[in-house]
Amino acid sequence: MSLLEVIRPGPLSLLQDAGRYGWQHLGVSPAGPMDPLAAAWANRLLGNPRGCAVLEIALGDVELEARSALWVAFTGAEMPLSVDGSPRLNGSRFRLEAGQRLRIGFARSGQRGYLALVGGIRAEPVLGSVACQMRECLGGLDGSGARIGAGDLLAGEAGDFPWGASVPWPWQPDYRAAQVLRVVIGGDAAAFEEAEARAFFERAWQLSPVSDRMGARLQGPPIAAPRRQWSQGVVGGAIQVPPDGQPIILMADRQTMGGYPVLGWVHPLDLGRLAQCPANQWLRFTVMSLEDAQDELRAFYRFFDGRA
């Protein structure tokens, strides 16, 4: 076993695995990484299964010290990396010797980075997952939903690789590019006035500063939503339209029931790009078919899990 000691935890660093599924009927949020593609790449660089626990680092400003030699991988937001002052590449795996310090600076583009250890970061699962859900006090290193703090120890395996590796350049993200997110129309879409539903896709929306791991709030000219008298189960990516006409896109720490009308769902892999957007960024949305979304998800699972 190898250890990384947390010297400086940054604004918000959380332990996340693939998520706590199978409990939503009891009101338990799944949590999990905000950018599942970046988290999957961090694990793949080390030969880990996709769902192994990683450290999700929001905004950066993190420092860790290796208690023993080990390999790590870092993906996601463009955060300056250095080991004892020597730069390291984003989207790569590299070795740390005992006593060396890894410094992760503030994000230059993107919002969340993912640090993986060989074999995954070890913690005791709660309801089958170590994913940290602070609101429900579940998961994390001690099972109570606490964020990572100074002095915490991240345990993994040392690993043995002949050399470093990086995410192939065609798959390296560009978080500075304009974001057009794909949507599968459904839910209560047929109950919206045609002009109101069309307006959601025709106009640009600004990401609200009050967005968080629970939901991404959009700002723009309001759209009128149909009235609904009941609540129903909701999933990640659901586009809810409350009475004020400002849509909310449900994210990793979403509630499990919702009463606002749903216009459709953002593609699961596009949610990761949304999670990397800074406050006040402009967003646009476009329609895609359910079949195309399913095909892309199958390709994702085949590549990272070896299954359809």
Rounded to whole angstroms, how far apart are CA atoms 9 and 192? 45
DSSP 147-195: PP-TT-EEEEB----SS-EE--GGG---TTSPEEEEEEE-TTGGGS-HH
71-89 in b/e burial notation, b at 16+ Cβ within 10 A? bbbbbbbbbebebeeeebe
Q: What pLDDT does 308 receive?
A: 42
Rounded to whole angstroms, how far apart are CA atoms 229 and 259? 7
Q: Which domains does the chain have, with CATH numbers?
A: 2-171 (no CATH), 179-305 (2.40.100.10)
Rounded to whole angstroms, how far apart are CA atoms 71 and 157? 8
| pTM of the model as a whole | 0.94
Q: What pLDDT does 232 receive?
A: 87
Q: What pLDDT does 2 receive?
A: 87
Rounded to whole angstroms, how far apart are CA atoms 174 and 179? 10
Planar angle of CA 75, 48, 139, nearest 5 degrees: 80
Q: Which residues of the chain have pLDDT under 70?
A: 229, 307-308
8-state DSSP, 288:
-
Q: What pLDDT does 102 receive?
A: 98
Element (H, E) at 298: helix 290-305
Q: pLDDT of 231-285, one tens digit each? A: 889 999 999 999 999 999 999 999 999 889 999 999 999 999 999 999 999 999 9
Cβ proximity of 38 and 112 under 8 Å = yes
